[in-house]
């Protein structure tokens, strides 16, 4: 797995970028003040009402969501302004179903480091914006003061204050104000770029540490997925094919004993053994298909899922929209997740139908959702089918989320990078 650091924010920025930065900072001085005022109100009201009537929890929940929205907008604003290749801020997910999983997701979102870096960057932009706004005012008024002698007035007022100065000093004050405000407006955009880079753009050490952590998670998922798969194959062979082949051997042994004394009975036994042999061959083919679907390599994920839906014991509504192929690893992980989910829906959830949706998203991920109308209550247990899904998707660099409240429905969402 390879990754490159996002390009740094350039110390020298173009004129258009400079003007755009000043305009955005001026807007942040107004909008950012409103946003942080809202956050302060939500936090203070939430904490004050939490122990009184409990309704404060709603304000605290809104506080977390507004925090995420502000952080997300800051990432988008900075990346659009400086084109520094920042990754989009993604919402955190606990991966656990039910109300407890939602509370855990809310807490993980609250302590999310990238989100708080976005909030810090927005706060700095707001402070700089509060400097930009009066600087623009001083700049304009200083230009006006240069033309004060032309008005014929004896005195004038210093811009933004009630201080009265003589007309003979107006030009000097105007030049000084013009130089100071221009210096602020010229220097504040590079300052914002440097501060933004230090906050939002990760260092090379942080990128390498994240790559190492991701590689470790993928390696652990691959090892765990292989163990689950081996256990499943052993279980299927022991519980399915092996007893059937033993039965075939015993039936042929009985036929051999009766072939001289009772040829008719021997013939029936041979026919029974023949039928059992064909059933064993079918089970072996299904087992091999569960390990690797050859149609997936030959014709792609769409065709493989169509064949899978046709073999499903329950009706499957298939909605696949893909523009091109992804890597074999990504397609295999998604195919396995869907196949295992349909198997669970037919065997355990008592569902009567299922729906499968597959998309290739604009961010380069292969996304799939499987939902059945069964009784729900599915849980990730060590060595179980859902455990195999989670680990196999993790090995491909993706994420899996299972939502299965008691009473149903059960929904599985997986996202895998197409280039994994």
Q: What is the pLDDT of residues 60-101, one digit of tens each?
A: 999 999 999 999 999 999 888 888 777 778 888 766 666 777
Is residue 171 over pLDDT 80?
no
Span(s) in the chain for CATH 3.30.565.10: 296-420
How far is Cα 353 from Cα 402, in angstroms, rounded to an integer? 18
- Which residue, 237, 360, 356, is CA-closest to 291? 237
Query: What is the per-residue pLDDT for 9?
Result: 40
As a CATH number, domain 296-420 is: 3.30.565.10
Higher-confidence residue of 312 and 296: namely 312
Average pLDDT over the chain reads: 78
Structure tokens at 150: 């032309």
Structure tokens at 326: 């992804």
pTM score of the predicted model: 0.55
| CA 27 to chain CA mean position, Å | 29
Is residue 43 over pLDDT 60?
yes
pLDDT digits (tens, 9 = 90+) for 225-250: 566 666 666 666 666 667 777 777 88
Overall average pLDDT of the 92-117 stretch: 81
pLDDT digits (tens, 9 = 90+) for 324-381: 788 888 888 888 888 888 888 877 777 788 889 998 887 788 889 998 888 877 777 6
Vertex 199: Cα angle to 194 and 200 (nearest 5): 100
Query: What is the per-residue pLDDT for 4?
Result: 42
Is residue 53 over pLDDT 70?
no
Query: What is the per-residue pLDDT for 73?
Result: 92
Helix (H, G, I), strand (E, B) or coil at 262: coil
Query: What is the per-residue pLDDT for 137?
Result: 85
Residues 6+ apart with CB under 8 A from 322: 300, 301, 302, 358, 359, 360
- Which residue, 77, 73, 71, is CA-closest to 21? 77
Vertex 76: Cα angle to 74 and 81 (nearest 5): 95
Query: What is the per-residue pLDDT for 231?
Result: 65
CA distances from 18 to 25, 81, 124, 193 (A): 11, 9, 17, 10
Is residue 267 over pLDDT 60?
yes
Tell me which H or E stretch contains 173. helix 167-200
- Which residue, 366, 387, 302, 315, is CA-closest to 345? 315
């Amino acid at each position: 797995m390879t990754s490159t650091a996002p390009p740094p924010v350039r110390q020298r920025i173009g004129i258009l970028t400079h003007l755009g930065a000043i305009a955005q900072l001026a807007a942040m001085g107004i909008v950012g003040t409103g946003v942080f005022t809202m956050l302060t109100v939500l936090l203070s009201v939430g904490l004050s009402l939490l122990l009184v009537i409990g309704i404060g929890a709603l304000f605290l929940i809104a506080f977390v969501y507004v925090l995420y929205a502000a952080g997300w907008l800051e990432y988008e604003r900075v990346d659009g302004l400086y084109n520094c290749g920042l990754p989009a801020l993604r919402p955190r997910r606990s991966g656990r179903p039910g109300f407890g999983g939602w509370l855990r997701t809310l807490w993980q979102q609250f302590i999310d480091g990238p989100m708080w870096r976005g909030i810090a960057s927005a706060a700095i932009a707001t402070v700089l914006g509060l400097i930009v706004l009066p600087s623009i005012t001083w700049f304009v008024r200083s230009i006006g003061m240069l033309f004060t002698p032309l008005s014929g007035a004896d005195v004038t007022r210093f811009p933004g204050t009630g201080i009265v100065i003589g007309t003979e000093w107006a030009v000097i004050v105007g030049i000084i104000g013009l130089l100071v405000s221009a210096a602020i407006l010229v220097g504040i955009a590079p300052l914002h770029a440097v501060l933004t880079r230090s906050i939002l753009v990760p260092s090379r050490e942080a990128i390498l540490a994240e790559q190492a952590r991701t590689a470790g998670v993928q390696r652990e998922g691959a090892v765990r997925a292989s163990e689950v798969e081996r256990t499943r194959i052993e279980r299927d062979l022991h519980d399915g094919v092996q007893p059937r082949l033993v039965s075939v051997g015993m039936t042929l042994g009985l036929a051999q004993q009766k072939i001289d004394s009772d040829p008719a009975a021997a013939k029936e036994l041979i026919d029974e053994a023949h039928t059992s042999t064909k059933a064993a061959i079918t089970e072996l083919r299904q087992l091999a298909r569960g390990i690797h679907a050859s149609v997936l390599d030959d014709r792609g994920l769409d065709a493989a899922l169509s064949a899978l839906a046709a073999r499903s014991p329950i009706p499957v509504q298939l909605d696949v929209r893909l523009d091109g192929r992804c890597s074999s690893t990504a397609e295999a992980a998604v195919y396995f997740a869907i196949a295992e989910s349909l198997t669970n829906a037919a065997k355990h959830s008592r569902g009567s139908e299922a729906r499968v949706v597959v998309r290739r998203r604009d961010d380069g991920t292969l996304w799939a959702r499987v939902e059945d109308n069964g009784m729900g209550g599915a849980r990730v247990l060590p060595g179980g089918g859902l455990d195999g899904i989670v680990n196999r998707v993790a090995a491909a660099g993706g994420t899996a989320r299972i939502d299965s409240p008691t009473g149903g429905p059960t929904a599985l969402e997986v996202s895998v990078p197409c280039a994994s």
